[in-house]
Each structure stands twice: as structure tokens, then as C-alpha cells.
């Protein structure tokens, strides 16, 4: 989902930056407040960011014969609510843009929007929605993380389609083309992201049940302590 | 729980291996990055498009690039492992304390 440096026309780059900036600013304030009001969560928040750091660094092979990577932003969205992930995702993307020439500064706004904003919000929405339907927590978490990942790549395809419409079939034709590049490759990776997120949530429920109980985002979800 | 987590991790590993095998059988499979392929699709759609900005710094070689990716993964998994290990130890100690207090 990394749109490479310079690969969005200046107008699009500026527009996506303008869209993402308020989310990142609100996120920074929320993270700041969380640190002040509930400093006991510092480490869990850092661990959620770390999860995104690992998963977005691992390029995995896919059935299509190409490689892609997961996003890892679902976990933090599930634990802390989606708004804190905008800041954490931006840090990950900045690291990759500056040190790895992966993504870029001009495309940072667009990449933040797909990976650090839409992905987490979709994950959060799915978690709440499926919990409302009384799905088992593991199923909810799996779907949230997996479809949050897919949503990120769908947004990237949309961003590229808007910037580069197909001369014959327009934005829609271009969107289908970019989805053809991303979606089949991403699907098994999104499943992997879902599975790993469930593993981490299982471990958290086992070892950090007291901490999860105090989380503001989903206190109810995690109150049932799971013992082996 | 241990069994279930183990199963989930094994399932993830199987998915990676199966992807590698199936993907490798496809014609022209090079396991190139999907991001790069999407940028190629951009140039295919609009051959006259020129990226107007280039990265400020690029890893000088594939080795340095893989070093930095490995560093990223190592930092992330190190912190995550530290957190989980710490909490595991604490929850065990709490249980122990509770058991001791009960005696």
C-alpha cells in the first residue's frame, strides 16, 4: 500500500496530506492525554505500535507470485480505539519513507490515510459490529484485523485510480486494475494478519487481563479472563 | 490456550508456505513487491507521468535495505516480546502471591 515517492500528482499529494493531518493531530493529542491520565498503558500502547512495526516490515510471499506486507494496525485500533493508530501508523510510515525509501514524504498523507486511518477505523467498526451480533471475540478480532488490512489496500487502489484514471475506462476501470494488482496478493496476507492479531489478543487476555479491564475503548470485551 | 495459539501460528506458517509454493508455480513469478507492481501499472496507464519528487535518501544497496527492514522487525518484535514476557512474569507472580496469602 506504499505509494512511492513522487507517484501522486502534487495536487493529490497535497489533498491527502490535508485530509490526514487533522486525524494525526487529534491522534497525537489523544495519545498525549492517554500518557498523562493513564501512564500504566504506555507499554501496551508501545507494544501495539511495535506489532505494526513488525508486520509492516515483513514482506510475505503470496499465491499470486508476488510479495506484499500486512499492516498490523488492527491490534492497536481494537485495544485503544482507532484514533490513536493515526499517530502510530504515521511513525511507522515515516521510518520507512526516510530510511527505506519505501513510500515517501510527498505520498505520506495518502499512505497515512489508507494504513493509519481507514484501516484502523474499519477494524474498529467491524469489531463493534460483530460484537453487537454476539460473535465470539476471536472471530471479531480476526475479521477486524483481516478486513482492516484489506480496506487499507482498497483505499490505496482508490487513491491511485483517482490520480491515474484509465484513458479508456476512467477512474472505475483504473480502480479495478489497481485492485487486480493488490487484492489477490493481499488476501492470504490479510488472513495471516487476522490470525496473528488473534494470537496477540489471546496472550493479552491471558497475561494482561487486569490491564485490559481498565482500557477505555473496550472494557466490556476483555473482562472475561481466559485461562488455559 | 497454548494449544489454540500454537494452532493459529501453525496455520499462519502453512499459509506462507502454501503461498510460496502456489505462487512459485505461476508463470513469471518473481515474488516482486505488489507496491512496485502498482507503480508499474501507473506508468503503464500514464506513460508520460514523471514522479516529481525522489526519496531524500536511499539505502545504498539491497544489503543495507534488508538490514534496515530486519532492524525494523527486530525492534518491533523485541518490544512486543518484552511486554508479553514482563506481563507473563507479573501475572505468574500475582497468582503465586495470592496462593501464598491463602495459606
Q: What angle do CA A228, B2, B4 make, to 5 degrees?
A: 100
Number of domains making up chain A: 1
Whether A177 sits inside 8 A of B28 (CB atoms) is no
Whether A164 sits inside 8 A of B35 (CB atoms) is no
pTM of the model: 0.93
Domain ranges of chain B: 1-52, 59-103
Whether B41 sits inside 8 A of A178 (CB atoms) is yes
Q: Is ipTM over 0.90? A: yes
Q: Please give the pLDDT value at position A224.
A: 52
**Any idea which residue has 489523544 for its cell?**
A30
Whether A65 sits inside 8 A of B68 (CB atoms) is no
Q: Is A208 on the interface with B (CB under 8 A)?
A: yes
CATH code assigned at A118: 1.10.1760.20
Cβ atoms A185, B34 nearer than 8 A: yes
Q: Is A166 on the interface with B (CB under 8 A)?
A: yes
Whether A99 sits inside 8 A of B41 (CB atoms) is no
Q: For strands A59-61 and A66-69, give the pairing.
A: antiparallel
Residue A221 domain-assigned (yes or no): no
What is the b/e burial string over B32-64, where b = at least 16 CB atoms within 10 angstroms of the residue's CB?
ebbbebbbebbeebbeeeebebebeeebeeeee
Residue A228 domain-assigned (yes or no): no
Give the structural domain span for A39.
10-213
Running DSSP on this structure, what letter comes out for residue A39? G
How far is Cα A201 from Cα B24, in angstroms, rounded to an integer?
33
Cross-chain CB nearest to A199 (options B9, B59, B75) = B9
Residue A227 domain-assigned (yes or no): no
Q: Is A183 on the interface with B (CB under 8 A)?
A: no
Residue-wise pLDDT for B6-30, tens only, equals: 999 999 999 999 999 999 998 878 8
How far is Cα A136 from Cα A139, in angstroms, rounded to an integer?
5
Residue A97, exposed/middle/buried by CB under 10 A (0-12, 13-18, 19+)?
Answer: buried
Per-residue pLDDT of chain A (228 residues; tens, 9 = 90+): 899 999 999 999 999 999 999 999 999 999 999 999 999 999 999 999 999 999 999 999 999 999 999 999 999 999 999 999 999 999 999 999 999 999 999 999 999 999 999 999 999 999 999 988 988 999 999 999 999 999 999 999 999 999 999 999 999 999 999 999 999 999 999 999 999 999 999 999 899 888 888 886 665 666 554 444
Residue A64 domain-assigned (yes or no): yes
Amino acid at each position: 500500500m506504499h505509494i512511492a515517492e513522487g507517484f501522486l500528482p502534487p495536487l493529490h499529494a497535497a489533498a491527502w496530506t490535508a485530509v490526514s493531518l487533522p486525524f494525526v493531530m487529534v491522534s497525537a493529542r489523544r495519545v498525549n492525554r492517554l500518557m498523562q491520565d493513564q501512564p500504566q498503558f504506555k507499554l501496551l500502547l508501545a507494544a501495539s505500535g511495535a506489532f505494526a512495526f513488525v508486520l509492516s516490515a515483513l514482506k510475505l510471499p503470496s499465491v499470486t507470485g508476488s510479495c506484499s506486507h500486512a499492516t498490523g494496525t488492527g491490534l492497536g485500533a481494537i485495544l485503544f480505539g482507532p484514533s490513536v493508530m493515526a499517530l502510530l501508523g504515521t511513525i511507522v510510515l515515516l521510518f520507512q519513507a526516510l530510511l527505506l525509501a519505501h513510500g515517501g514524504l510527498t505520498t505520506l498523507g495518502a499512505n497515512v490515510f489508507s494504513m493509519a486511518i481507514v484501516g484502523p477505523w474499519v477494524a474498529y467498526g467491524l469489531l463493534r459490529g460483530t460484537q453487537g451480533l454476539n460473535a465470539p471475540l476471536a472471530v471479531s478480532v480476526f475479521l477486524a484485523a483481516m478486513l482492516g488490512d484489506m480496506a487499507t489496500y482498497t483505499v490505496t487502489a482508490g487513491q491511485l485510480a483517482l490520480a491515474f484514471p484509465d484513458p479508456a475506462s476512467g477512474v472505475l476501470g483504473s480502480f479495478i486494475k489497481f485492485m487486480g494488482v493488490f487484492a489477490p496478493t493481499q488476501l492470504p496476507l490479510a488472513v495471516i494478519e487476522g490470525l496473528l492479531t488473534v494470537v496477540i489478543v489471546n496472550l493479552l487476555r491471558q497475561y494482561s487481563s487486569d490491564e485490559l479491564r481498565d482500557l477505555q475503548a473496550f472494557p466490556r470485551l476483555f473482562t472475561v479472563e481466559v485461562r488455559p | 490456550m497454548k494449544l489454540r495459539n500454537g494452532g493459529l501460528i501453525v496455520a499462519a506458517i502453512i499459509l506462507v508456505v502454501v503461498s510460496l509454493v502456489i505462487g512459485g508455480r505461476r508463470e513469471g513469478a518473481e515474488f516482486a513487491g505488489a507496491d512496485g507492481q502498482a507503480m508499474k501499472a501507473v506508468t503503464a496507464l500514464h506513460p508520460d507521468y514523471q514522479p516529481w519528487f525522489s526519496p531524500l535518501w536511499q539505502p545504498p544497496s539491497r544489503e543495507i535495505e534488508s538490514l534496515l527492514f530486519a532492524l525494523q522487525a527486530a525492534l518491533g518484535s523485541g518490544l512486543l516480546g518484552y511486554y508479553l514476557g514482563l506481563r507473563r512474569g507479573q501475572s505468574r507472580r500475582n497468582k503465586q502471591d495470592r496462593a501464598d496469602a491463602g495459606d
